[in-house]
Amino acid sequence: MKQAVRSYAQVLYDLHVPAEDIEKTKAVLLENPNLQTVLENPLVSIQVKKDLIDKVFPEKIRNFLKVACSRQRASLLSDIIKTYKEYADKENGVLRADLYYVTAPDQAQSEQIETFLQKKFHVQKVILQKKEDKSLIGGFLLQADGIEYDFSLRGRFLKLKQNLIRR
């Protein structure tokens, strides 16, 4: 199934469907779980599904959704949209990263982190999601592309504890 999700996400990207149409589609599916159930249901005719798609979804994504339904892939739509975003980011040189902190970084610190990530991951743009986390005690924790950089006091305490236990 993962390969199917990736393939559909790539096709969606190649179709150049506007990002706002994809976001609206995601919102419609989240707000109407019964709609998702109908699209997935093999007992509902494909014509009924197509008519429903024409009434509910943005025009430029309708054909994609109809094909997904006719191939019984409607259950994958939320995963396809998520994977589409990841694929689009990669194709456009964008990296999304999470920064957890106790004290919010100032503008200069944020720019330094973004510059570090641009160089490390060879991307043009970094979208840094900043989140407060008092459990870090101090410092920060940076997660990007499955890699974690732990510069927190909590992380240092844990590392020290592991080193002491190993002795």
Q: Are 151 and 139 in contact (CB under 8 A)?
A: yes
Each residue's pLDDT, cut to its tens digit, for the chain (167 residues) gives 799 999 999 999 999 999 999 999 999 999 999 999 999 999 999 999 999 999 999 999 999 999 999 999 999 999 999 999 999 999 999 999 999 999 999 999 999 999 999 999 999 999 999 999 999 999 999 999 999 999 999 999 999 999 899 87
Q: Are 141 and 155 in contact (CB under 8 A)?
A: yes
What the block records as the tokens of 114 is 């973004």
Closest to 74 (Cα-Cα) out of 14, 3, 5: 5
- Quote the pTM value: 0.78
What the block records as the tokens of 52 is 């429903």
What the block records as the tokens of 164 is 């002491």
